[in-house]
Amino acid sequence: MLLTIVAFGIVLLGAFAQTVSGFGYALVTVPLFTMATDPRTAVVVTALTDIGLTVTAALRDRAHVRWRVAGSLTGTALLGLPVGLLVLATVAEDVLSVLIAVVVLGCVALVASGARLRTGPLGIGAVGVLVGVLTAATGTNGPPLVAAFHSLGYDPRTFRATLAAIFSGIGLVGLAGFAAIGRIDAEVLWLSLVALPAVPLGWWLGNLVFDRIRPLVFRRIVLVGLIGSAGVALAAAAG
pLDDT at 117: 62
Distance, CA of 112 to CA of 106 (rounded, Å) = 10
User: pTM of the predicted model, to two decimals?
Assistant: 0.80
DSSP code string of 70-119: HHHHHHHHHHHHHHHHHHHHHS-HHHHHHHHHHHHHHHHHHHHHT-----
Distance, CA of 47 to CA of 62 (rounded, Å) = 21
| Residue pLDDT, tens place only, 204-230 | 888 887 767 676 676 666 667 667 666
Count the Cβ atoms, other than its own, within 10 Å of residue 124: 19
Distance, CA of 154 to CA of 22 (rounded, Å) = 12
Count the Cβ atoms, other than its own, within 10 Å of residue 111: 24
| Residue pLDDT, tens place only, 74-113 | 999 999 999 999 999 998 888 888 887 777 777 677 767 7
Distance, CA of 208 to CA of 16 (rounded, Å) = 10
Could you give the 3-state DSSP secondary structure of residue 65? coil
Domain boundaries, the chain: 2-238
Distance, CA of 166 to CA of 72 (rounded, Å) = 9
| Residue pLDDT, tens place only, 152-170 | 778 778 888 898 899 899 9
Q: Interior CA angle at 16 toward 11 and 21, to 5°? A: 130
Report the phi/psi class of residue 38: left, alpha or beta, with left for phi > 0 and alpha for psi in -120 to 50: beta
